[in-house]
Amino acid sequence: MNASLPLPPLPEVQPRPLPADALAALQQRFGAQLSTALAVRQQHGRDESAYTHVPPPQAVVFAESTADVADAVRLAAQWRVPVIPYGIGSSLEGHLLAVRGGISLDLSRMNRVLAVQPEDLTATVQPGVTRKQLNEAVRHLGLFFPIDPGADATLGGMTATRASGTNAVRYGTMRDNVLALEVVTASGSVVRTGTRAKKSSAGYDLTRLFVGSEGTLGIFTEITLRLYPLPEAVSAAVCSFPSVDAAVRTTIAIIQTGVPIARCELLDARTVRAVNAHSKLALHEAPLLLMEFHGSPTGVQEQAELVQALAAEHGGQAFEWATTPEERTRLWTARHHAYFAAVQSRPGCRCITTDVCVPISQLAEHVNAAVAEADQAGLPYFLVGHVGDGNFHMGYLIDPDNPDERARAEALNAALVRRAIAGGGTCTGEHGVGLHKMAFLRAEAGEEALALMRAIKQALDPHDILNPGKILTT
Q: Per-residue pLDDT tens for 211-232?
A: 999 999 999 999 999 999 999 9
How many domains does the structure of the chain reveal?
A: 3
Spatial CA neighbour of 176 closest among 116, 118, 127, 225: 225
In a domain? residue 152: yes
Q: What does the pLDDT look like over 297-344, one tens digit per residue? A: 999 999 999 999 999 999 998 788 887 888 888 888 888 889 889 999
Residue 264 and residue 225 share a domain: no
Residue 257 and residue 154 share a domain: no
Q: What does the pLDDT look like over 123-132, one tens digit per residue? A: 999 999 999 9
The arithmetic mean of pLDDT across residues 49-74, rounded, is 94
Q: Of 287, 316, 340, which closes a domain?
A: 340
23/59 Cα distance (integer angstroms): 8
Q: Compute the mean pLDDT over every residue in the chain, rounded to the nearest whole number.
A: 93
In which domain, by residue range, is 176 found?
113-229
In a domain? residue 99: no
Task: Give the angle 141-145-147 at the CA atoms, nearest 5°.
Answer: 170
In a domain? residue 67: no
Residue 251 and residue 190 share a domain: no
Residue 398 and residue 351 share a domain: yes
Q: Of 320, 340, 360, which closes a domain?
A: 340
CATH number of the domain where residue 396 is located: 3.30.70.2740
In a domain? residue 86: no
383/371 Cα distance (integer angstroms): 8
Q: What is the pTM of this model?
A: 0.93
Strand partners, 294: 234
Q: Of 182, 212, 229, which closes a domain?
A: 229
Query: CB under 8 Å to 452, separation ≥6 — which residues?
Result: none
Q: How confident is the model at residue 149 (pLDDT cuts 50, 70, 90)?
A: confident
What b/e sequence results for 211-233 when a residue is b if at least 16 CB atoms lie within 10 Å of its CB, and e otherwise? bbbbbbbbbbbbbbbbbbeebee
Residue 397 and residue 426 share a domain: yes
Provide the pLDDT for residue 324.
Answer: 84
- Pairwise pLDDT comparison (48 vs 8), residue with the higher score: 48
Residue 356 and residue 319 share a domain: no
